[in-house]
Amino acid sequence: MTTMKKTTRARLYSSPIIEEILNSIPPVEREKTKNRMVIAARIDDYMLQAGLSKMELSRRLNKRPSEITRWLSGTHNFTTDTLTEIAFELKVTIADLHKSKLELTKQREETVYQVTNKVQINYPITPRYDPATMSTISIASEPQVSYGKQKQLFA
């Protein structure tokens, strides 16, 4: 008979050899690896956004498809010129290609927050009439106009 066992998550694990190897890697080398992978991920994302396949991008940039595969592997050390060509073709900036997934998520969340707050506070469009909060406002009353001066002019 099969019985339900514990319902826990995996325990967190590390080991001396993992620590030893990770601690021996200079932080700048880890950052280089991470940046190569970030750029690869952003190229992949922006290709998708622009509706470009590997084949199409390779044709537009006059490169072999295998080169695009190498770019997307996150192992390629890009030159500024190559990045400029890629960014130009994908209609983004070089800075966009350096933004990590977490940075982009954070940026998106901030944008949504700002837009939401603008709608609530600044009323960029005519607010919907709500009798509960706007009962003292008459939205269909006659404008109050004084005709006194006009009468004097024609008198």
Between residues 29 and 110, which has the closer beta carbon with respect to another protein? 29
**What's the rounded Cα separation, in Å, for the pair 77 and 33?**
9
Binding mask 58-77 for another protein (x = CB under 8 A): -----------xxxxxxx--
> What residue type is 96 in one-letter code?
D
Task: Report if residue 109 touches another protein, rule: CB under 8 A.
Answer: no
**What's the rounded Cα separation, in Å, for the pair 64 and 120?**
51
**What's the rounded Cα separation, in Å, for the pair 40 and 72?**
5
- The token pair at 28 is 């700048």
**What's the rounded Cα separation, in Å, for the pair 100 and 110?**
15
Which residue in 28, 80, 95, 102 binds another protein (CB under 8 A)? 102
The footprint of another protein on this chain (CB under 8 A) covers a number of residues equal to 41
Task: Report if residue 24 touches another protein, rule: CB under 8 A.
Answer: yes
Task: Report if residue 38 touches another protein, rule: CB under 8 A.
Answer: yes
Phi/psi for 80 (5° steps) reads: -60, -35
Between residues 107 and 114, which has the closer beta carbon with respect to another protein? 107
Residues that bind another protein (CB under 8 A): 1-15, 17-19, 21-22, 24-25, 29-30, 33-34, 37-38, 40-41, 44, 69-75, 100-102
